[in-house]
Amino acid sequence: MQILVDADACPVKEEIYRVADRHQVAVVIVSNSPFRVPDHPLFSRVVVSDAFDAADDYVAERAGARTIVVTSDILLADRCVKAGASVLGSNGKPFTADSIGAAVATRAIMADLRAGIGTENIGGPPPFSKADRSRFLSSLDEILVRLKRRG
């Protein structure tokens, strides 16, 4: 079992380290640029090229039934859900087979709207909050417990 982190824009890396250490689960931080990773035998860093989707491709190619993927990228989440991984947004909301289709569709609609009228008239996602951080910690713990029970 391992946690793969799409790390370039991930605001919950420290929380991931804490929960992973408690559960003794490996964490792989995947990014286009180097990030400091705690000196711990379960934590590693992979720096991929700056090619388009290089980090996404790395994560998606390694996603599977015993993998937890942490990402806010809906298209990467879609790929990982289809590969059988447990996928968690940095806001603590899981991406599932039941929810990913709606998330992809909403993303496409918002992209079309931004292209048609410009981004100044459409707000982005709400700011990251303490509630998001708390929900993330709880959700990650729940997923790890569920995967451990499955064996």
d(CA 59, CA 112): 27
Q: Model confidence over 121-148: pLDDT tens digits?
A: 556 667 889 999 999 999 999 999 999 9
pLDDT at 8 over 60: yes
pLDDT band at 9 (very low <50, low <70, confident <90, very high): confident
Average pLDDT over residues 47-68: 95
Tokens of 135: 């929900």
Give CA–CA dist 151/142, Å, rounded: 15
Which residues are 67's β-sheet partners?
Answer: 2
Provide the whole-model pTM: 0.85
- Phi, psi (5° rounding) for residue 5? -115, 120
Mean pLDDT of 32-55: 94
pLDDT of residue 105: 60
What pLDDT does 111 receive?
62
Going by their DSSP bridges, the two strands 67-70 and 86-88 should be labelled as parallel
pLDDT category of residue 62 using cuts at 50, 70 and 90 = very high
Which one, of 57, 50, 51, 93, lies nearest residue 75 by Cα?
A: 57
Of residues 82 and 128, more confidence is placed in 82
Q: Domain of 56?
A: 2-150
Give 11-30 pLDDT, tens digit per residue.
999 999 999 999 999 999 99
**What integer best gives the mean pLDDT of the chain?**
88
Query: Side chain identity at 112, as an amino acid letter?
Result: D
Angle at 73 between CA 71 and CA 75, to 5 degrees: 125
CATH code, domain carrying 67? 3.40.50
Q: How many domains does the chain have?
A: 1
Higher pLDDT: 93 or 127? It is 93
Backbone φ, ψ for residue 50 (5° rounding): -90, 15
Span 3-8, average pLDDT:
94
